[in-house]
Structure 1
Amino acid sequence: MIPRYAFILFIILFSILSKLRSQIHGNQLLKETSRKTDSIITKGIINKAFPGAQLLVAVKGEILFHKTYGYQTYDSLLPVEKTDLYDLASVTKILGPLPLLMKLVEEGQLDLDVPFSKYWPAWQSKKDKKELTLREILSHQAGLTPYIVFLKEVLEKGKIKSRYIRTMPGKQFQKQAYDGIWVRNTFEHKIFREINRSAVDSIKEYSYSGLAFLLFPKLIEKVTGNSYPYLLRKEFTFPLNIPSLGYLPSKKGFPNSIIPTELDSLYRKDLVKGYVHDENASLFGGVSGNAGLFGKATDLFRFMQMYQNYGHLDGRRYLKEETVKEFTRIQYPNNKNRRGLGFDKPLLDNALKDLKDAYPAPSASAESFGHSGFTGTFVWADPKYQLVFIFLSNRVYPSRDHRQLYELNIRTSLHQLFYDYLDKL
């Protein structure tokens, strides 16, 4: 008969060996995943999808993989570093105005289902807008005009109009769009008027529009009586301990290098670096709801981890669980609209698609959510798999015409690699 202590010792040794085998297996899987990741991103650099990039992947709240590739530009002078700040483009939407809107909704200061014109009175006189709700707007179901190029208002035959732009600041020109480009303080009112007058499609179906995000910072300020950047810092970036996530990084003196975006031959006549790439956001002085945030990979990880935890991180609750679940839920699936409220979601039949046709990875769960950015950024969280995926690049360097990031299906392919890793653990 085996003594009891010997049996207990056997169980302990068996458990240790099992954990060791599992750890060895996991390390081998991660090495293989890393090798495949290196191959995909290196192929992207060779094919000039971007001069450099970085990838951060976290599982169960812990960073599993964080690696940088290539250089800031094709001259190969400055290698990409983990602390580099990126122009997040449309990822701004879910990290800037959206969390503040979520907070105002849960506090009862905004209602998703009453006419938005209640909060934006200029729409009360617009027949095609007065009944639109915040829910419809945030889920891109309202029929709003997809995009307006406001830059055309400040350019005439390739030259900048002095009525709206000056080369030096002045009493009426306090908003800096770039070095030597100062925008008239009241220009935002012209933008608001054009949005107020813009057409609305009578057929209510999914159509992506970023116009309302240009209004949201002003809306937030009207409702709260506080400045939008201040509230974002107070409620989210400072308590999340990510002060480097914010607007106007070139004015803050951070030691972090800022990744350049596009060589602009039309408006700024320069390689854009340290100022927002998006022209509409630049005309707001770089502080906008549609674009303008800069941040590093670990900043984005903490924000997306908070979302993935349904509003909670490190012992602090930032948003109610039911709020995050509502905003990350598909709102109009019967209208073939995959969107949540502000958040992007997988294609409705994503799990059935091949890798080349999927968005994001085919294995991403229906509970997952995130957003992409025009400059080559992508963030995604999946509560089912406890997977946070952050991809950062400057694919618009030196020109936005570079579309190899999409054509090579780089982000989706990388995303799927880590689902495959989890499946094989």
Structure 2
Amino acid sequence: MRNYLFILFGLFCLIGFAQKNETKPLLLPVGSSLQVGSLADYELDSIAIYSKVDSIITNGIKNNAFPGAQILIAKEGNIIFHNAYGFHTYDSIQPVALNDIYDLASVTKILGPLPAIMKLVDEGKLNLDLPLSTYWKPWRRQKDKASITLREILAHQAGLEPYIVFLSRTLKNNDRFKKRFIRSTSNKRFTNEAYDGIYVKNRFHRKMYRIINRSEVSEEKKYKYSGLSFLIFPELITQLTGMPYAEYMQENFYKPLGMKTFGFLPSTKNFSSKIVPTEVDTIYRHTLTQGWVHDENASLLGGISGNAGLFGTAQDLAIIMQMYVQGGIFNGNRYISENTIKEFTRVQYPENDNRRGLGFDKPYLDNAQFTLANAYPAPEVGASSFGHSGFTGTFVWADPEQQLIYIFLSNRVYPTRKNRNIYDLNIRPAIQQIFYSAFDRSKQHNH
């Protein structure tokens, strides 16, 4: 009996000791899926954090930076902060919900064509240091493009034009559509739906490719952001895989990762969650854009593109960003090799004053030396961190050193894209910095 009591007493001591030392969850095994955690798990002052974030967001809404926003933070595979603020529009009718679906705009670049390109590099079907013309044959005939490598293109080091407004090719002087390109009803030659009652000629994408193929290339090779190649990547991916790009992404990434709302053309799917509206469009659709891609170039491709067109929830974004942070593995499945992810997320041309990775955006080269007002993104992000922003007011960032993911979703283009207060007020880096500072304080406190 005495032995039994002694064992019991020992067990109680052990449990007590374990509880006392359980100040934060263990780092998840590599390849795990996301868990729900809390700020308290990391001994963070949740009252201070919530009030600081609230104050920045409230100020943003008050100054019409956006009608509403959503923030998700994951640390070591645990979602420790996920909150929604404000409304879909300034009339305050529809509050932002945690499962709302957003138009991700240019964030599409790193979650659409880029994972496919990484996988094709892994499979030896693409080589970063061969000219793109090896795979995209029309460039063989273009003197200024024949030798440009895929690496230069992905690092925005190729001298390509930043953007071409293809919409202008479809409009007459009076802003009416040219019937040979766009119709208000569909038929066999016009099946690409760009919006309710706007059908683009099926072969219009060929005209877009031709214009891109013939576009000018700057002789000076320096950092110049260009989205042009991302308009042709989906066709290239289709050619190399023998599978339509959207279907390839769904089957190889979004579905196996468990990203339930992620993909193109959300208005064609019966989602119960709401799709946040973007702009009240005055030049093209002449109505509020909701459930259809905001970017006109992606729209003219029927909503499926590499430069924009993806929609999804914050949770979906967190999944694929966590896969990147975990070196290409998630929930026990490998999607991309670790070496390839490291290669794509490192700075490619620092000697050229170019901060970019391959497709991924990176912090300023001397980011840690800048103040919050001048840094990009927050000054404390790790040098190995990466992400991308989107024109509609979206932003994703992953920091492998800190095992930290930051997702900011908003519709800053509502009601108009002229609204630039999200940038002027430096809202997204300021919120990111709150969490870095909180972890710093927690570390100091524990030491």
Deviation at 1:243, TM superposition (A): 2.7
Deviation at 1:19, TM superposition (A): 4.4
Match of 1:59 in 2: 75
Alignment of 1:9-408 (within 5 A): 13=16, 16-17=19-20, 19=22, 26=42, 29-157=45-173, 158-408=175-425
- For 1:76 and 1:16, the matched residues in 2 are separated by 45
Asked if the contact 2:73/2:404 (under 8 Å) is kept, the reply is yes
- For 1:362 and 1:131, the matched residues in 2 are separated by 37
- Tell me the TM-score normalized by structure 2: 0.91
- For 1:20 and 1:150, the matched residues in 2 are separated by 55
- For 1:243 and 1:24, the matched residues in 2 are separated by 29
Asked if the contact 1:233/1:243 (under 8 Å) is kept, the reply is no
Deviation at 1:314, TM superposition (A): 0.9
**Deviation per CA, 1:121-177, whole angstroms, max 9, x where unpaired?**
111111110000000000000000000000000011211111100001101001000
Higher deviation after alignment, 5-14 or 220-229: 5-14
Structure 2 CA distance for partners of 1:21 and 1:220, relative to 1, 3 Å: closer
Which SS does the other structure have where 1:264 is aligned?
coil
Match of 2:427 in 1: 410
After superposing on structure 2, the runs of 4+ consecutive aligned residues of structure 1 that deviate more than 2 Å are 3-28
For 2:99, give the aligned amino acid: T
**Deviation per CA, 1:82-105, whole angstroms, max 9, x where unpaired?**
111100000000000100010001
- For 2:368 and 2:7, the matched residues in 1 are separated by 50
Aligned residues: percent identity? Answer: 55
- For 2:283 and 2:217, the matched residues in 1 are separated by 30
Which SS does the other structure have where 1:55 is aligned?
strand
- For 2:297 and 2:59, the matched residues in 1 are separated by 33
For 1:245, give the aligned amino acid: F
- For 1:289 and 1:336, the matched residues in 2 are separated by 26
Asked if the contact 2:234/2:245 (under 8 Å) is kept, the reply is yes
Structure 2 CA distance for partners of 1:5 and 1:230, relative to 1, 3 Å: closer
Deviation at 1:21, TM superposition (A): 11
Which SS does the other structure have where 1:257 is aligned?
coil
Asked if the contact 2:23/2:43 (under 8 Å) is kept, the reply is no
- For 1:343 and 1:389, the matched residues in 2 are separated by 15
Which SS does the other structure have where 2:317 is aligned?
helix
- For 2:251 and 2:140, the matched residues in 1 are separated by 32
Match of 2:29 in 1: none
- For 1:180 and 1:25, the matched residues in 2 are separated by 51
**Deviation per CA, 1:376-420, whole angstroms, max 9, x where unpaired?**
000000010000000000000000000000000000000011111
Q: How well do the aligned residues superpose, as a CA RMSD in angstroms?
A: 1.9
Which SS does the other structure have where 1:204 is aligned?
coil
Asked if the contact 2:44/2:439 (under 8 Å) is kept, the reply is no
- For 1:122 and 1:224, the matched residues in 2 are separated by 19
